[in-house]
Amino acid sequence: MFKEFNKIIEEDLKHWADVINNFPFMVSKPEKIIFNNPTTIIKWNDGSKTIVKCENDEFSKEFGVAMAFIRKIYGSRGEFKRMIKRLGKSQDKKVQGNNKKGEKI
């Protein structure tokens, strides 16, 4: 179990090293947000733009902007989902292994 935990930590450290090396995205702020149902476009102050499209859900401006930020930070929704899956597994194991008092189940 320790090896698995260590592997997750190493992967996260690699991810955050990439984040630090690509630091400019962290200071980017939206300059303009364009809503064109079902598409949300954000033009950032670093000159880049992010385009997200709602495909199967009801169009939501809030969700469109949130997904654009996720894509800006993680590069893609898929990378974001992999992070959730990877980190969610480690948390699920902690929850399944102990009751509320911290005793083994």
Residue 72: inside a domain: yes
The pLDDT of residue 31: 93
State yes or no: pLDDT of 11 exceeds 80. no
Give how many domains the chain has, as a whole number: 1
Residue 104: inside a domain: no
Measure the CA–CA gap between 98 and 83, rounded to whole angstroms. 24
Which domain covers residue 86, as residue numbers?
2-97
pLDDT tens, 62-104? 989 999 998 988 888 888 888 888 888 765 555 555 555 555 5
Q: What is the DSSP string of 40-91?
A: EEEEETTS-EEEEE--SS---HHHHHHHHHHHHHHSSHHHHHHHHHHHHHHH
Residue 105: inside a domain: no
pLDDT tens, 32-42? 999 998 999 99
Peptide bond before residue 38 is cis, with ω within 30 degrees of 0: yes
Residues 6+ apart with CB under 8 A from 64: 35, 39, 40, 52, 54
